[in-house]
Chain A
Amino acid sequence: MPGNEAIGVEKISKKFDQVQAVSDISFNVREGELFGFLGPNGAGKTTTINMLTGLARPDSGVVRIGGTDCTKRPRTAQHLIGVVPDESNLYPELTGFDNLCFCASLYGIRKQQRKARAAKLLQDFGLQHAGDRRFSGYSKGMKRKLTIAAGIIHHPKILFLDEPTTGIDVASARQLRKLIAELNASGTTIFLTTHYIEEAERLCGRIAFIVSGRIVRTDSVDELLHPFQARHMLRIACATQVRGTTDRLSNSYPGLKFSFPEENILQVEADEPIKAGSIVHFLEETGVEVTEARKIIPSLEDVFVEITGIEADALRTGQENSGVRE
């Protein structure tokens, strides 16, 4: 169960030349939590991670890692953290095993222990067959796995994961999400940045939405979804033009809200359960051929769109390969 503060952020800001990358953001992450940091590309996610891990200094504000104020002395808490950057940045000329041993040595771990931990992580991540191969020869999915393994080889209390599943295939993304969930279950606090809404919904306990360098909302997934779960939504797919029926639908069903997210799709929203059969019958009587009627369960995507005003498509750039929609 989440406990004491693992990460505390108070009003941090960062400007690069004329660009305000992060503006006055505050949040905290409790021990054992899996905290999601969700926003479109360029929202300030990586800049925030860099400030939290000591790779960048905030222009103002305070960062606490494990209770230590790292703002002025960013390197003081580095033994507590592990970082998996958005790009796999291990040494291409070293083997997988040697990469892990080298990363362990940076934390002062002795030779025998380094070797044992590297062998175990290769096993845990399903890379035991590739331990003696050069990192440069790994597939993207293998590279991400080894980069995560390198991030946890010193058993950090807090793990920063920056876009862990971006650009990898469906199967590897699934495996990685399983590994992330297992790590969190074993007690590691995880700070996860992603632009995949479903990934955040599936993995995280709490989520902060960041847009244009500002946090627009921080809450638990349940709390974020709650107001939307009271809504009832129906999506009706038609083989013929349906837009022309708007006025007649509104007159016949005054308590319902009608919209057209796509050309031949009718979306119905209400505060009470919707009688789908009645609407389908009404449409067919007016000459519209209905092919499918489906109840929509509100997702975090709907919450994100509502709160940020950003269409989810903007977040989903490059999602085709992520395997989120499994």
Chain B
Amino acid sequence: MNRWIAFLNIMLKDMRTYYLKPPNVSWGLIFPLAWTAMFFIKSGAGLGSIPELLPAVVAVSILFGTTSMLAVTVTFEKKQRSFERLLLAPLPLELLMLAKTSGAIIFGTANAFIPVIMAAFLMDLSTVAWTVFVPAVVLVAVASTFMGLFIAVAVSEVFEAQTFSNFFRFPMIFLCGLFFPVAQLPIFLKPLSFALPLTYGADALHGSVHGAHMLPFTLDLLILAGFCALLFGLSLRNIKRNWIA
């Protein structure tokens, strides 16, 4: 049997059913725009602040774009039992969950480039290290998606998924060096910061856009990839334990 037919159709069905719906598209446009405007106005530094703001806005767009939908849709499908249909398909669980999350990864990655396109009209992007920026965007999208999956598998109600998502997402905005450098955080918060995947993604994004970063790019990307594997593995383990018990 051609498993990739199943993979592609699960992904396309999710894209069509969930991600390309008007509320989501507007969420993907309005949310990054609002965050950019908010920090742009607050900084008062004019156009000069855009290189520092862009990586943060890109990361926030991915984080919210991926986790908000995935955590809800998987929980929703589990609740209305259509997810059982996928579990009954003759597909390895790993491939099934990759198919289920690939739509969110693509959506999150696409979301990331909306602020980039907007920034292109306001600043010179020729200095951006795209070879670091693009892999960092993709890995942040994968890590955020798998975090959404981890949350979706851990809860049983849609409202729990939303609450649980916010429990992770909002602290991450302030702890991961998006808008405030990790170095400026109180010492007791720093270990927490380094335990979160977005810290490494944000570091690579900052470094690729304006050159300021804490860790070597390769290390940032490797740690981010490690978080992806860990979150995916934990999600699969929870599915096997809780959903195919």
Q: Which residues of A contact B (CB under 8 A)?
A: 53-57, 74-75, 78-79, 81, 83, 85, 87, 89-94, 102-103, 105-110, 150
Contact = CB atoms under 8 A, between A and B. Distances in A.
B76 to A, nearest CB: 10
Interface size classification for chain B: 20 to 34
Contacts of A91: 13, 17, 82
B88 A55 contact: yes
A109 B5 CA distance: 7
A89 B244 contact: no
B9 A102 contact: yes
16 contacts: A54-B88, A55-B84, A55-B87, A55-B244, A83-B84, A85-B81, A87-B81, A89-B80, A90-B82, A90-B85, A91-B13, A102-B13, A105-B5, A105-B8, A108-B5, A150-B85
B244 A56 contact: yes
| Chain B contact residues, majority secondary structure | helix
Interface string B67-101: 00000000000001110111111111100000000
A106 B12 CA distance: 12
Tell which of A57, A78, A94, A105 has the most Cβ of chain B within 10 Å: A105
A103 B1 contact: no
A73 B7 CA distance: 21
B86 A75 contact: no
B6 interface: yes
Nearest to A106: B89
A75 B92 contact: yes
Contacts of A78: 88-90
A89 B84 contact: yes
A141 B223 CA distance: 53
Given A92-B80, A108-B6, 19 more contacts: A54-B87, A54-B88, A55-B244, A56-B245, A74-B244, A75-B93, A78-B88, A78-B90, A85-B84, A87-B81, A89-B82, A90-B85, A94-B13, A94-B17, A105-B5, A105-B6, A105-B9, A106-B9, A107-B6
B190 interface: no
A106 B244 contact: no
A54 B243 CA distance: 11
B127 interface: no
B244 A108 contact: no
Interface of B: 1-3, 5-6, 8-10, 13, 17, 80-82, 84-93, 244-245
Report, nearest first, the 7 A-B pairs whose CB atoms are least far apart. Answer: A108-B1, A105-B9, A106-B89, A89-B81, A78-B90, A79-B90, A108-B2
Contacts, number: 70
Nearest to A82: B88
Nearest to A14: B245
A87 B79 CA distance: 12
Contacts of A94: 13, 17
A166 B80 CA distance: 18
Contacts of B10: 105-106
Contacts of A74: 244
Contacts of A87: 81
B88 A107 contact: no
Nearest to A75: B90
Contacts of B90: 75, 78-79, 107
A107 B81 contact: no
Contacts of B80: 89, 92
A57 B245 contact: yes
Contacts of A79: 1, 90
A87 B80 CA distance: 9
Given A89-B81, A91-B17, A106 B86 contact: yes
A197 to B, nearest CB: 27
B162 to A, nearest CB: 20
B209 to A, nearest CB: 39
A215 to B, nearest CB: 22
Nearest to B9: A105
Contacts of A150: 85
Contact of B85 (A75, A89, A92): A89
Contacts of B244: 54-57, 74
Contacts of B85: 89-90, 103, 106, 150
A70 to B, nearest CB: 12
A111 to B, nearest CB: 8
Nearest to A80: B90
B69 to A, nearest CB: 14
Given A74-B244, A91-B17, A93-B17, A107 B9 contact: no
Nearest to A90: B82
Contacts of B82: 89-91
Contacts of B9: 102, 105-106
Nearest to A87: B81
Contacts of A81: 88
A63 to B, nearest CB: 13
B17 A83 contact: no
A106 B8 CA distance: 10
Contacts of B93: 75
Contacts of A102: 9, 13
